[in-house]
Structure 1
């Protein structure tokens, strides 16, 4: 074996051009695989940066509705299971909360969590200064007005002052004592400004409306407990209390998932698709290098025949060539590993995980072993064909044997080229389908106008505006002030702006005359103040929109519904105007019908929506401002307008609606970009392979071509012969690739939007592109063949 290694090393060093070409070809495939596997390793295989992180779990309600079945929990369920469960060391509520920090030069909105006293303990975390939230802080009779500040909020708002611990600050116009400062950048506190006690037992409204208190629940399992055993126990607890749950929750189950699965599990299908794509690139690279080695093996037939004649066995020859190909693959793997290391962080940034703290993106032993394994596998894979070919070269010095061997080699090379083309076609079709899906999505009419629309949020403190009337009055004043600014066309308040990726409210809907359909149909809903439909360009189809008479405390409960609700619930032709409907367990009268909108993203389709006057549901407020100027230019003026209404009211999440629409398709854009890169590499490799094969065939058939020219063949006929061979191989590869795409189409369907997996336009474009690439690859070998001089060619043998 050592002799084989020495000889292989000499062979590689003796042919630097060949070695470099083969190594770079392999490096592209191995590097892409290493980068994608490293991402999988960081997100799905490495444990999260906590002690025994596999024991940390997240609890969700499972609605049983497919891949998007998981729903948030509620404070009521937390209270039900907190003391009844025996599977957990500790449990904690986790609920998004925004509080206004005032009493400083300019009020700001801080974003954080309501948590239980055990929250940091679940993750094995501690505070950097001061003390953690205590069970007393979280209890009914304890001091609930304490706050843990994040490291970033401490530095940004309080100048990193260590004496701030123990002092009081004003959050939502109530005094909170700073009990501690969190350590910087931990996975579960990233982007968080503060933690405050959830104190469910201390808040009457949370207990009375405990199933409306939407939250997450995280916990740490006891030693020996598993997600499966915890799920079984919690489901039994829920079943025993089912009668007290809201109707829509009664059929739902409780799911317990590891924290890693809860946060990154949904990305698995997309990462698998990328892994398949880079595996195809690697196979194309293997086919390419195998063709190079086949050509080289033919050139080495004399050497191999001499070695055979002096006693080398067929197995020794095969082993030698496999060692050589494996060493070549290891060289490619070394370069590929560098490519993987360099591209990993940009790749992680592209898919949105690079900024997560404590997510280890380094190349560890698992990645190194993966790279080593695929390099050895690759070396054997592309080396086996030329190695086996050498078994037929014992009589290579005789013309007849060489001709037979060459014929067999040409056939094998042609087969590899067909495989390259087929794999490239699969990737190209996938790119085409995803690209067409994205174009379709971007061209989708969202049902509203996003041009020159600015959006922002206001979190209005309950102590500042305790009643719906107070909140509505404040909102109307803000709308009036902003409406007076130069360049503003119209302003409106909506509880949640379209495609904000943050909030969406929903409730069961049924007609008054169809009580049997209660809780079988759900709609989204938004509260509205001002002319939202004019501001967003949503057309009024029937009836009227809200006016001042609907925003009074004693106003009748009226709603505006969208056309989707009419299509779903008024199929019998009944005029919806004036009809009484049930929504969110209250009775409302329909006064208007408006157009549909895409609520979540451009490719999410149109959702049924119900709109209510703000006075009826004023608890979340966002604003949309239609402008004649670039929207972001008005940001400072809008802040001043809001401060003119209330000098301690900050605004937050300022952005254009156009930005929100684009970001709604960010995942799709990322997928197209990545697969496009891999597909581009594959087709370049395939084109290189076709070019190399055609050049090799011309070289091998110099004598034949010379004879043809000598007896009268025209140069154009020689060109046609070469092109015919290349196009024949391409046609076979095309057919195989298209059949493969149709076969795997159902696996692509879940990420396609308004495009069939076997879209004829995409298939036609890919076919034409592949043929054009083949023509380009065949052009130089064909023209070279047509210029062969018969007198020179006939002297070659």
Structure 2
């Protein structure tokens, strides 16, 4: 058995070497499909399929509040405390809040991920420090945990943590432990500070905490969700309008982490699967053409006793060899693609650090390649045996088998074209959706401005607040003095950046002891007087912040137009008064002095509920993490060096992140752009393969029918009629492919609905555009074979 297999492999390798062009083209086609499929499956495997790297991760859930409109929100502290006390199906709950900020220790400051976390954080994730101890132990003072990377890079990997401390969020805490090197939660976190270090909030409308929890062993997810819903309803009854929740929602933590990315990745995987099928179809077509061109060789081998079984085995061996070759090239391509993509994916995909060509992926690649190769080989073997039978029966004439093989190849071309149409429509829908997204007015001017993100004085209290105001005033003045700078302003959360806070706001006379009904829900921003001009935002009514709006003066606010219209319909918003409840310990009433145009704060795809802007001078505690926007009179690159120099001189010890407002905007739509670009690549490759497949078939058909064409022309048919006849044959094939493809697209594109913005899954413009493109490409693919057919000389062909 083994010697026979080795003999077949040697014969197959020699045969493929003799037909080098065919072999290389086949391997290239397969490598495109296999490489793209491997890379895409590796992404899906890492992000969607693999369990989270925590003990018994299937028992972990994310907890959110759900309001009357179905909007899911982080938890307010009192609601979290009540849920912890009442829910018997959760063994532990841990809150966390934070993000990228300045972290200082050992005379070194860096901007990195830092979070305040609850005392049950380690218990929920069932992880322990590799050095030192955890925090949250009864009777101990609040402490901080650092990541293995931070311990090594920022602390110098000390063997003893005694006397070490770290500062962030206006807190300085002793470092009590170092987490395992592989541990990460949330993504990007390098510091975890004990939330007991800050005073608890008593507001049920200040949604400050993201929460994870662990289900008890005997409790199902459904039962835990039912109990959480009941607790939420009970809190609503007990506290009335003091709470804006209707229920608590529990979501599997892995599903919560991948969020909307899940749909996009499955659609992309389906797209690359179609591409692999198109590549396999293309190679099958090449094999069938080879079977006909080798009819004499196959007939001779059969006559010499090789037998149909051994000849069929030879076709299978050759296809497997080509498949393995294509897989090896595809593996290399997938490895290179992931190497290039992984660093970029960190900001696009959750769990991007886990991207790799794992053994699971390699095993699937091997099995898939063998199955595809066997299928190609068996189809080719069946055609080869027909060629042999026809050759022996007709004395070497091949008209009947040629027609039979041509019909099979026509079917493959139709299948290839149909799958290509589906990919083109998918890419077209994403392109149309992206164009609609770009047409959305974000409410600010992204171009022409630089951004500087920094964290200021980490000392809390009145002294720290005064230093924050002093530092920001000085920085803004120095930046505004740079030649070529048009405006300078800042905020604690730039639009579309994910920063900033939100919550419910109330009437000025709200008595929080009586559970007042909130006026609404809004984004809350602290900003400087120059913020509107620096952002390119419009002041619609009233006035901006003024120099008189200092600490101690009546607190003022600007509100967005949508908030003004929904809160005070038919009334003048100027002079209205509101309060945000006990945010930052402040209960001051805010006097509305201006109305500004709406801005997309959280997402370009949907409108926000509105925004309230407060002067940072009157709320400096919220301005410690601040982003300054510097707008130039021309190209922002012309002032970049000067801006950096000002920061280097004025704040040399502060880690600063420089960017541009255009980058912030582009980053907010980066996932949509990624899906569009990748799907478009699949569609272009598929279209290329389909066009070459159609060209090859038409060239083969015209070669087979040279005699018939010569007779037609000898009987008076003009070259123009021959040209039209050939083109009509190709167009007829692609019309069939188009009909099948459009039918498939109508059935499948609805699965893309969640990825589309302002575009219907059955968008007629996209379907019509793809149909026109297919017809144009069909004519182009058939043109050269048609021209050759029209130039056939009856004298030369018929002798």
- SS of equivalent to 1:749: helix
- SS of equivalent to 1:15: helix
CA–CA distance in structure 2, aligned partners of residues 334 and 108 of structure 1:
43
Within the alignment, does 1:287 sit opposite 2:288 as a pair? no
After superposition, the CA RMSD in angstroms is 4.2
User: How far did 1:273 drift?
Assistant: 0.8
- SS of equivalent to 1:499: coil
Moved more, 308-317 or 664-673: 308-317
Change (3 A) 1:695 1:452: same
Q: Which residue of 2 aligns with 1:434?
A: 430
Q: Which residue of 2 aligns with 1:529?
A: 528
578, 586, 595: which one aligns with 1:593: 595
Judge conservation of contact 1:603–1:665 (CA < 8 Å) in 2.
no
CA–CA distance in structure 1, aligned partners of residues 69 and 343 of structure 2:
31
Deviations 1:49-73 (A, max 9, x none): 334333344333345867xx54323
Change (3 A) 1:762 1:703: same
- Gaps spanning 5+ residues in structure 1: where? none
Structure 1 length as normaliser, TM-score? Answer: 0.84
Structure 2 length as normaliser, TM-score? Answer: 0.84
196, 209, 214: which one aligns with 2:208: 214
CA–CA distance in structure 2, aligned partners of residues 704 and 318 of structure 1:
32
597, 608, 611: which one aligns with 2:610: 608
Change (3 A) 1:12 1:768: farther
TM alignment of 1:23-34, pairs within 5 A: 23-34=27-38
User: How far did 1:272 drift?
Assistant: 0.5
Judge conservation of contact 1:5–1:324 (CA < 8 Å) in 2.
no
Deviations 1:615-673 (A, max 9, x none): 66443222323334535324444436755xxx98x464432212211111111121122
468, 485, 496: which one aligns with 2:493: 496
Judge conservation of contact 2:145–2:193 (CA < 8 Å) in 1.
yes
Moved more, 229-238 or 723-732: 229-238
TM alignment of 1:284-683, pairs within 5 A: 284-299=278-293, 325=319, 328-352=322-346, 359-379=353-373, 381-382=375-376, 385-386=379-380, 394-398=389-393, 402-450=398-446, 451-461=448-458, 463-465=460-462, 475-476=472-473, 478-507=475-504, 521-555=520-554, 558-566=556-564, 568=566, 573-579=570-576, 590-605=592-607, 608-614=610-616, 617-621=619-623, 622=626, 623-628=628-633, 630=637, 631-639=639-647, 643=651, 650=654, 652-683=656-687
Judge conservation of contact 1:417–1:686 (CA < 8 Å) in 2.
yes
- SS of equivalent to 1:60: strand
- Gaps spanning 5+ residues in structure 2: where? none
Q: Which residue of 1 aligns with 2:175?
A: 178
Judge conservation of contact 1:290–1:382 (CA < 8 Å) in 2.
yes
TM alignment of 1:204-243, pairs within 5 A: 205-209=199-203, 212=206, 214-242=208-236, 243=238
Judge conservation of contact 2:67–2:245 (CA < 8 Å) in 1.
no
Deviations 1:175-231 (A, max 9, x none): 5333233444532276334222122xx75x305347636222334444444444443
TM alignment of 1:657-736, pairs within 5 A: 657-736=661-740
User: How far did 1:255 drift?
Assistant: 0.5
User: How far did 1:114 drift?
Assistant: 1.9
Q: Which residue of 2 aligns with 1:753?
A: 757
Deviations 1:296-353 (A, max 9, x none): 3444566777899999999998787667655654554444344333433334444337
Q: Which residue of 1 aligns with 2:81?
A: 79
CA–CA distance in structure 2, aligned partners of residues 517 and 781 of structure 1:
79
Q: Which residue of 2 aligns with 1:250?
A: 245
- SS of equivalent to 1:465: helix
- SS of equivalent to 1:95: strand
Judge conservation of contact 2:457–2:464 (CA < 8 Å) in 1.
no
CA–CA distance in structure 2, aligned partners of residues 477 and 337 of structure 1:
56
Change (3 A) 1:229 1:334: farther
User: How far did 1:285 drift?
Assistant: 1.5
Judge conservation of contact 1:488–1:626 (CA < 8 Å) in 2.
yes
TM alignment of 1:126-275, pairs within 5 A: 126-129=128-131, 131-136=132-137, 139=138, 142-144=140-142, 146-163=143-160, 165-168=162-165, 176-184=173-181, 186-188=183-185, 191-199=188-196, 203=198, 205-209=199-203, 212=206, 214-242=208-236, 243-244=238-239, 247-258=242-253, 260-275=254-269
Change (3 A) 1:752 1:567: farther
- SS of equivalent to 2:62: strand
CA–CA distance in structure 1, aligned partners of residues 507 and 292 of structure 2:
77
Change (3 A) 1:234 1:757: closer
How many aligned positions are there?
A: 777
CA–CA distance in structure 1, aligned partners of residues 719 and 104 of structure 2:
86
CA–CA distance in structure 1, aligned partners of residues 517 and 382 of structure 2:
71
Q: Which residue of 2 aligns with 1:112?
A: 114
Deviations 1:725-745 (A, max 9, x none): 222323333344344434444
CA–CA distance in structure 2, aligned partners of residues 307 and 63 of structure 1:
77
Moved more, 289-298 or 30-39: 289-298
Q: Which residue of 1 aligns with 2:770?
A: 766
CA–CA distance in structure 2, aligned partners of residues 169 and 431 of structure 1:
49
Change (3 A) 1:566 1:116: closer
Judge conservation of contact 1:495–1:618 (CA < 8 Å) in 2.
no
13, 26, 34: which one aligns with 1:22: 26
User: How far did 1:290 drift?
Assistant: 2.5
User: How far did 1:289 drift?
Assistant: 2.1
User: How far did 1:702 drift?
Assistant: 1.8
